[in-house]
Amino acid sequence: MTKNSHDNDVAFIQALAELLNKNDLTELSVVREYGEDDSLEVRVVKQATVVHAAPAPVVAAAPVAAPAAAPAAAAAPAAAATEDPASHPGALPSPMVGTAYLAAEPGAEPFVKVGAQVKEGQTVLIVEAMKTMNHIPAPKAGTVKRILVDDGTPVEFGTTLMIIE
Amino acid sequence: MFDKILIANRGEIALRVIRACREMGIASVAVHSTADADAMHVRMADESVCIGPNSSTDSYLSVPAIVAACEITGAQAIHPGYGFLSENANFVQILEDHDITFIGPSAAHIRIMGDKITAKETAMNLGIPVVPGSAGGVPDFETARKVGAEIGYPLIIKATAGGGGRGMKVAKDESELEIAFRTARSEAKAAFGNDEVYMERYLQKPRHIEIQVFGDGKGRAVHLGERDCSLQRRHQKVFEEAPGPCITPEERARIGKICADAMAELKYIGAGTIEFLYEDGEFFFIEMNTRLQVEHPVTEAIFGVDLVREQIRVAAGEEMEFTQENLKINGAAIEVRINAERLPNFAPCPGKITQYHAPGGLGVRMDSALYDGYKIPPYYDSLIGKLIVHGRDRNEALARLSRALGELIVDGVDTTVPLFHQLLAEPDIQRGDYSIHWLEKWLAKTYG
């Protein structure tokens, strides 16, 4: 099994997990025949279990991929099992590259903490770029479920900053 | 010397700069849009930063995003490549204010050369030849005759208020001047409501010859000969070669010295290109590009130098490694630009590369950011690779180009490769006998 087909398998399983989530399914199983003695059998199941992902607990059910049986699938790490915060519907992506700050100035109270209720448009953190402090507003009202960056962390465009739902 | 350089570009030129950094032991930072997350420059750099969405306006052209990326990665200098922000004087000014070194000329020099009128005035003041013409409007036929004798024939009379070819008349010699002058004026009057005209020498079959220059910013500058880039379609170069097939060593030495002296006087720093129209042994300034050019590898091939390394060195305040005396031309080099475009209309053709195989062997260089499975995004330039060949002489380079094009495989999208196979079969191309109009005429004849 080459690295390339391994990567393809992982991507395939991830795509299945996304399909499962998108269409609100609970189970999906597929068999792919690549050739003699070379097949991939995948079963992806969504369970109502609580997955704990550092640093904060996730309440929402995460899609769980259960690669089964076939050696190829066994070789694939449980890639799809780890939740990607970016795909979370409440994810707040950074609108710019820069440095994230959780408080208005060093030592001050942070704008929000995990569990806080926020209004739409309320500043939840700052991203500094070129000495300009850009206030990042909450895209919608809700509860801060997770804060994924530390104070002073460099962030890229699209980095998930928080989960608000 | 710098420890870390950020490359504010994408595609093959970003790889070109990363390669120079690696050879110099300098860490490289790639910046990219979301569409380029899987691009080769991101994979090859030591670090990468996503700076914005697909649109280049919000990513590769975003000054705040690029400066912020520099700050979070601790890069001390930025190489702009070509295009994007490479000739943006405001960007260079902002970098100066942020203590980030711009690997290129000063904001002042970019500004001077970025404006057509000040560029031409500066060129004239520095002794660089420009197209001879009247100083302004020519009021009457008597003046026109005097001006005509000064600037020489053939000449063209153009409406001051004009454009689009109207109010333009050519006079091959003095006997044709009166009719040309009077009809140009009445056409200008009818078309633009203003009969003022001016006069310029008319070039019939000029070639595009450009001189590569390089300065240390302290008053020392050299030239690295010329490139002939006459084969163009809609002002886009497609095939470039060095040395120019029609340029004599004497002509090269003369125009080269004028350009190098001008750059020394300006205290120009880094790589630059002075573009000329060339006809019958005379050079006429068009413009100056204050950056590295797409076609710089042909010059690197014949002189055996690394222009990007040299750019980085002088930007860091080090001495230029070359002197005019040790720059010697060795053989001939040709570059062809491989674009993801469908012939005959050159329609952009983005898509997935199902198979990519680069040619190799003696004297072959392929600068490309392609790889198997790469998806060419539709948001950017269609240039996907440059094939550069070097031979002991022009004929060897032509044969090598034909051989290397035969080895190149780019499957999944249409490319301009078939065009080059056709061009190599043309006797004019084989002889090096072409002007800036040749390719457009050939395309019209071949594809109708």
- Is A130 in CB contact (< 8 Å) with chain B? yes
Q: How many Cβ atoms sit within 10 Å of the Cβ of residue A65?
A: 24
- At residue A65, the pLDDT reads 41
Does residue B102 carry a pLDDT above 90?
yes
Distance from CA of B24 to the nearest CA of A (A): 27
Q: How far, in Å, CA of B193 to CA of B207, rounded?
A: 35
- Report CB contact under 8 Å: B67, A154: no
A99 Cβ under 8 Å from any chain B Cβ: yes
pLDDT at position A62 is 40
Cβ contacts of B97 within 8 Å, gap of 6 or more: none
Res A81: pLDDT: 43
Best residue in B71, B99, B374, B375 to probe A by mutation, most A CBs within 10 Å?
Answer: B71
**Helices of type H across B38-134:** 40-44, 63-73, 89-97, 107-114, 116-125
Kindly report whether the global pTM for this prediction surpasses the value 0.80: yes
| More confidently predicted of B335 and B120 | B335
Q: Say whether pLDDT at B408 is over 90.
A: yes
Which among B249, B242, B258, B359 is positioned nearest to B304, based on CA atoms? B242
Nearest to B50 among A99, A132, A157 (CB): A157
Mean local confidence (pLDDT), A68-81: 42
Give the whole-angstrom CA distance, residue B96 versus residue B315.
Answer: 12
Q: What is the pLDDT of residue A47?
A: 60
Cβ atoms B92, B102 nearer than 8 A:
yes
Q: What is the pLDDT of residue A20?
A: 75
Mutate to test the interface with B, among A8, A130, A160 (most CBs of B within 10 A): A130
Question: Is the Cβ pair A154, B73 closer than 8 Å?
Answer: yes
Between chains, do B68 and A97 touch, taking CB under 8 Å as contact? Answer: yes
B45 phi, psi to nearest 5 deg: -75, 160
Q: Do B71 and A99 touch (CB under 8 A)?
A: yes
- Using the predicted structure, report yes or no on whether residue B371 has a pLDDT greater than 80: yes
Percent of chain B past pLDDT 70, that is, above it, reads 99
Residue A54 contacts B where some CB pair is shorter than 8 Å: no
Model confidence over B43-72: pLDDT tens digits?
A: 999 999 999 999 999 999 999 999 999 999
Q: What is the 3-state secondary structure (H, E, C) of chain A?
A: CCHHHHHHHHHHHHHHHHHHHHCCCCEEEEEEEEECCEEEEEEEECCCCCCECCCCECCCCCCEEEECCCHHHHHCCCHHHCCCHHHCCCEEECCCCEEEECECCCCCCECCCCCCEECCCCEEEEEEECCEEEEEECCCCEEEEEECCCCCEEECCCCEEEEEC
Task: Say yes or no: B75 contacts chain A, CB-CB below 8 A.
Answer: no
Closest CA to B263 of B312, B209, B324: B324
Q: Is B72 an 8 Å CB contact of chain A?
A: yes
Inform me whether the C-beta atom of residue A97 falls under 8 Å from chain B C-beta atoms: yes
With a cut of 70, say whether residue A64 has pLDDT above it: no
Q: CB–CB of A97 and B73 under 8 A?
A: no
Whole-number average pLDDT of chain B: 95
Tens of pLDDT, residue by residue over B188-224, are 888 888 889 999 999 999 999 999 999 999 999 999 9
Cβ under 8 Å to B: A residues 137-156: 154-156
For residue A131, the chain B residue with the least C-alpha distance is B68
B333 touching A (Cβ < 8 Å) = no
pLDDT tens-digit series, residues A33-53: 776 667 777 777 776 444 433
pLDDT at B246: 97
Domain A78-164 coded CATH 3.40.50.150? no
User: What pLDDT shows up at residue A37?
Assistant: 67
- Which has more pLDDT, B239 or B165? B239
- Which of B34, B73, B94 is nearest residue A158 as measured by Cβ atoms? B34
- Looking at residue A79, what is its pLDDT? 43
Q: Which residue on chain A is closest to B98 by alpha carbon? A: A130
Burial B189-228 (b: 16+ CB within 10 A, else e): bebbeebbbbbbbbbeebbbbbbbbbbbbeebbbbbbbbb
Burial-class residue A110 by CB neighbours within 10 Å (0-12, 13-18, 19+): middle
Write out pLDDT tens, residues B383-407. Answer: 999 999 999 999 999 999 999 999 9
Interchain contact, B68 vs A99, CB within 8 Å: yes
pLDDT band at A77 (very low <50, low <70, confident <90, very high): very low
Helix (H) or strand (E) segment spanning residue B376? strand B375-376
Q: Which single residue is written with the structure tokens 């090598």?
A: B400
Q: How confident is the model at residue A145 (pLDDT cuts 50, 70, 90)?
A: very high
Q: A161 falls in which pLDDT band (50, 70, 90)?
A: very high
Domain ranges across chain A = 3-62, 78-164
Q: Which of A65-74, A95-104, A156-165, B237-246 has the lowest mean pLDDT?
A: A65-74
* Partner residue facing A156 (CB), from B49, B64, B94: B49
Chain A CB contacts of B65 below 8 Å: 96-97, 129, 157
- Give pLDDT tens digits for A50-62: 443 334 333 344 4
Residue of B nearest to A154 (CA): B72
A157 touches chain B (CB under 8 A): yes
B94 contact residues in A (CB cutoff 8 A)? 130
> Mean pLDDT over all residues of chain A?
76
**B291 in catalytic set:** yes
How confident is the model at residue B395, as a pLDDT? 98
**A97 contacts B50? CB cut-off 8 A:** yes
- Cross-chain CB nearest to A130 (options B51, B59, B64): B64
Say which of B69, B94, B98 has its CB closest to residue A97: B69
Examine the pLDDT at A13 and tell me if it is beyond 50.
Answer: yes
Collapse the DSSP code of B206 into the 3-class scheme (helix H, G, I; strand E, B; otherwise coil) and give the result.
coil
| B373, closest residue in chain A (CA to CA) | A4
Rg of chain B's alpha carbons, rounded to an integer? 23
Quote the tokens at residue A68: 């089964």
Of the residues B16, B185, B201, B291, which is catalytic? B291
pLDDT above 60 (res A123): yes
Q: Is the pLDDT of residue A4 over 90?
A: no
